[in-house]
Structure formats: C-alpha cells, structure tokens
A and B are shown apart, each in its own frame.
Chain A
Amino acid sequence: MNFYFALQYKRVKRLLKKSGINHFIALGIVLFLFVAISHFIFEKVIYAQYVYPIISLSLLNILGNVKRNEFLKNCYTVKKYKQIRLLENIVGAIPFVIYLLFKQEYITAILLLVISSLLSLFNKINSFQFVIPTPFYKNPYEFITGFRKTYVLFILSYTLTIISIYVGNFNLGIFALILIVLTCLNFYSKPEPKHLVWIHAQTPKLFINKKIKVAILYSFILILPIILSLSIINIEKAYLLVIFSVFGISTVVVSLLGKYAFYPSEINISQGMLISVSLIFPPITLIIIPILYIRSTQNLTHILHD
C-alpha cells in the first residue's frame, strides 16, 4: 500500500515537472487557491455549510471511477483495496474537514468525514445503459463529453440560481454563472490525440474559427437560463449579467485557444497563467485572445497543412 501512495506522489511530481512547475510552489498555489475558494464560498454563498461538503463529496466521487477501481481490484487483495480506497477518501476530505472545523461547523465536519469514508465502499454507477442527453450532438466533441462528465455541476449551478431567486441573493446567481463558466473552460483543458485534429480537411484558421463559434454558442446556451431568470427578477442589474457573461465566455475562448496554442502538449504553466490572469482581470482577454489566436493557427499548420 505504501508503494501505491509513493507511486501516486511520483506521478504528480512527474506531471508537475513536465509542466515546468516546482512541486513545492504547486503545493503553495493549491493551498492558496483552496483557502481562497473556500473563503469565497463561505462569504458569498448562501447555505455554504451544505454546499461546501457537497463540493467535497463530488470531488471524491471522481475516485470512484469504475475502470480505475477495476484496475486497483486486479492489483490488490480485497482488504488492501478497501484500505486504499478508504485512505484516499479520508485524505481527500481532510482539507475540507479542517476548513469546516475552522468555521466551527463541527457537526458538518464530522458528517463529511463519515460520509467520505462510507463513499469509499461505492463506485460510480456504470453508465453503460444510460446516455445523458445533450443539445450539442451536432458539433462534437468538447461540450458533449464535458457536459456528460460534469452534469452534476450544472444541476448544482441551476439549483443555486433558483435558490438565489428564492432568497433574493443576486450574488449567489452570479456565483452560479461563474461556476458554469469555470466548468466550460475546463472542457478544453486536455488536448485530444493528434489524429482527431488531423482528420479535419480545413485550414488552421477555419478549424479554430469553427471551434470558437461552437464554444461561444454552447457556453451561451448553458448560461442562458441563469441570465434570463436573474434578468427577470433583477432587470436593473441585467448589465452586470451581460458583463459577467461576455467576460466569462471570453475566458472559455482563452482556454480553447490556449489548448491549441500549445498543442499537443498538456496544459502547462504558461497556459494556466493566462487563464488565471483572464479570470482575475477579464478585460485582459481582449489582448490575450488575438495573441493566442495567431499562435494557435501557426501551431496547427504542421498538422492541418495549410
């Protein structure tokens, strides 16, 4: 079992090394972001004491991936496998538990630890039979696969929007919109195999333009229910929704262009920085987008043969 965890540590270190990030710096960034996001949730989100553990459990649910667990079962005895799963879930839940204790949410913290431990006994339901419908079937693939992998976050976002209207908390609605934007930009975090770009009989410009069009349209479709419902309730704040939507969708475009600007490499420190800067100071996307657009089209020339 020690070997398994040592191996996971090595894998993370290798991944960080490949991205050019020192692992101590990465740990610092992760800790900072974790505290910042946790703080934001407890400051801005209503019922944060419930939303927060749900986020934690949703993340732990990823460890219940069927193929991963089949592999682990093949490698280890039943006892060892259960120990690994339990330990992984506890380690994953501990940062959230600590923050809940810091917020004096003692019962929630204990419940989170117990449920996380119990969750280690279950794997994700194999969705062999059930195909989650999406409105994106005409233009595969990012939004189709992304939506199906993260549909829980969309349910959460729309639920938060309803709550925000019910309790009259506009900021909570904005948070739901931001959550969708963050989810959408994550659809472009992993580069597809070269073969799936190569199949396109298009120039790099045409290829990228089509991708941008789809990203804008589909992101808009996903945030539209939030924009409409919040606008009806708070028409005087509709301008804020427009601003957040425009910059949110621009960030999704930055993520898309970032992928192809550095393609076929995985997300690296430069790409991560660009997205982070765009999120912190959205107007900068006006400068970043043209730069990344030029770089993406140049980068794809050797695959698409302009």
Chain B
Amino acid sequence: MIKINSLNKSYGSKQILSNINLSFNEGEINGIVGENGAGKTTLFKCLASLEQYDGDIIYENGILKNVTGFLTTDPYILSKITGKEYLQLFCNARNVVIDNFDEINIFDLPLNQYADTYSTGMKKKLALTAILLQKNEVFILDEPFNGVDIQSNIVIKEVLLKLKELKKTVIISSHIFSTLNETCDYLHHLKNGRIIKSVAKNDFKSIEDDMKLTSVSYQIDKLNLI
C-alpha cells in the first residue's frame, strides 16, 4: 500500500500541490483526472521521488522508486539507440535478463530500428513495454492512451487489467473517460493542486459531469461564439 499524507509541493512562491492525502492499494487501479496544469504530472513525479516535496509518502515494502515503473507523458528517447537497446537499458537498470526481445514485443514495434525515428505512439508503446519488462510492483502511467492507435489502446487496457489481476498497484491519468471507466477502481479529481473529490466506480459520472460543467461549458461561453 502507498499512503500519501499531507503532500505539498511548490516551485518558489507558486503552490502546485496542496495537502494531498491519498492511498493506493495493491490490486487496484486509481485514476487521477484534472485539467491541464492541475498538478497531475507533478504529483506523479513526487510519487516517483523525481521531485522533492513536503509531507510523507509511505510505502511498506521497501524503497518505492526501486519497484516503480513510471511512464511519462512524452517519453524521452535517446538518439541513435534502437528499440531493442532501449529495452535493454531498462532491463539492465533492474537486473532483468531477457534473451529474446522479439518474443515480448507485444506492440509489434520495429525493435531493430532507431527509436528516435518512431512516431509518438510507438515511443509511448516502447516506453510502456520497457517498464512492464522491469517486473515492477507499482506503475505510474501518465496519459498512457495519448497518441496511441485504437488497437494498442485495447492492448493497454488489457495490460492494465492483467496488472490488477497480478495485484500490482496502478496509478494512471487520462483525459479519456471511457478508458478510465473500463479500467479504474477509483477516480480522484485534482483541481488547482487539490484533490476535490475521490469516488468509487459507481460515482465516476459525477466527476465527469463536474469536469464538463466547469471546464467545457464555462470556457466555451467565454469565446462568445455566434
């Protein structure tokens, strides 16, 4: 279980996250939703200890970062490195030995080609494959469905459900409510750096309605379209 107690994060005088209290259990998929700039990525970076923060993140089974796979929104791909070598780098980082990368190539990526020539979606699929191969216990997935084709979206959904079955802890963010509906057990609405609502599966619609009401209608009205 991961427990976040009174987490605060600021850059200089700008407060990004305020008093975040959350807990994530094994075998559950938790979704974090919110507008752009709400603080989702910062929260993920704090969870991964890639950012310093005030407050506590408690993980009972050792050092959290050593068992965490973090898929960033826009995965960084080194230049002049093939897909296979990228996977090798991630496996080496966790002492995982894979003899044949072609056998685990679930997204049919051209692994012998330079990964920096991949499309956005392919890069995301490569990065996701890399953290799956690391045999992590915790998965933080920032917008895993963005830029990925429909077939791969289906595969990712299946992967998420498999991770849940394997009792892994999964935390994802997405703007696509349908995918969250199908995969998440809990949703947490982050707004202006605060968790304003946390709901179980039956109440997902309430968050969707809230977001539509405050983010869409109100903003479009501002344009005074005629």
Residues of chain A whose beta carbon lies under 8 Å from any beta carbon of chain B = 127-128, 131-132, 137-141, 144-145, 148-149, 192-196, 198-202, 302-303, 305
Contact = CB atoms under 8 A, between A and B. Distances in A.
Interface of B: 48-50, 52, 63, 65-67, 70, 72, 76, 78-82, 84-86, 88-90, 92-95, 112-114, 117, 134
Q: Which of A196, A198, A302 gathers most chain B CB within 10 Å?
A: A198
Q: Which of A149, A193, A195, A302 gathers most chain B CB within 10 Å?
A: A195
Contact of B80 (A138, A145, A195): A145
Contacts of B94: 199-201
A196 B89 contact: yes
Contacts of A141: 78, 81, 85, 89
Nearest to A214: B92
Nearest to A132: B80
A217 B208 CA distance: 56
B114 A127 contact: yes
B88 A138 contact: yes
A271 B52 CA distance: 26
Contact of A145 (B65, B81, B113, B134): B81
Q: Which of A127, A192, A194, A200 gathers most chain B CB within 10 Å?
A: A200
Q: Which of A139, A141, A149, A202 gathers most chain B CB within 10 Å?
A: A141
B93 A201 contact: yes
Contacts of A192: 78
Contacts of A138: 88
Contacts of B72: 195
A200 B92 CA distance: 8
Contacts of B90: 199
A253 to B, nearest CB: 20
A194 B50 contact: yes
A137 B80 CA distance: 12
B224 to A, nearest CB: 33
B67 A201 contact: yes
Nearest to B112: A131
A140 B67 contact: no
Nearest to A194: B50
A154 B116 CA distance: 23
A140 B114 contact: no
B41 to A, nearest CB: 12
Contacts of A202: 93
A138 B88 CA distance: 7
Contacts of B85: 137, 140-141, 144
Contacts of A200: 93-94
Contacts of A193: 76
A305 B82 CA distance: 29
A140 B93 CA distance: 10
A196 B48 CA distance: 13
The 6 A-B residue pairs with the shortest CB-CB distance in the complex, in nearest-first order: A201-B66, A140-B89, A148-B80, A200-B93, A199-B93, A145-B80
A162 B95 CA distance: 40
A195 B78 CA distance: 12
23 contacts: A128-B117, A131-B112, A139-B92, A140-B86, A141-B85, A141-B89, A144-B85, A145-B80, A148-B80, A149-B79, A192-B78, A193-B76, A194-B50, A196-B78, A196-B89, A198-B50, A198-B65, A199-B93, A201-B63, A201-B67, A201-B95, A202-B93, A305-B66
Given A131-B82, A145-B78, A192-B78, 5 more contacts: A140-B92, A145-B80, A199-B94, A200-B93, A201-B93
A198 B48 contact: yes
Nearest to B136: A201
A140 B48 contact: no
B112 A137 contact: no
A202 B93 CA distance: 8
Q: Which of B50, B67, B84 gathers most chain A CB within 10 Å?
A: B50
A195 B76 contact: yes
A182 B52 CA distance: 37
A144 B81 CA distance: 7
A202 B114 CA distance: 27
A199 B113 CA distance: 23
Contacts of B92: 139-140
Contact of B114 (A128, A194, A198, A199): A128
A141 B131 CA distance: 17
Contacts of B112: 131
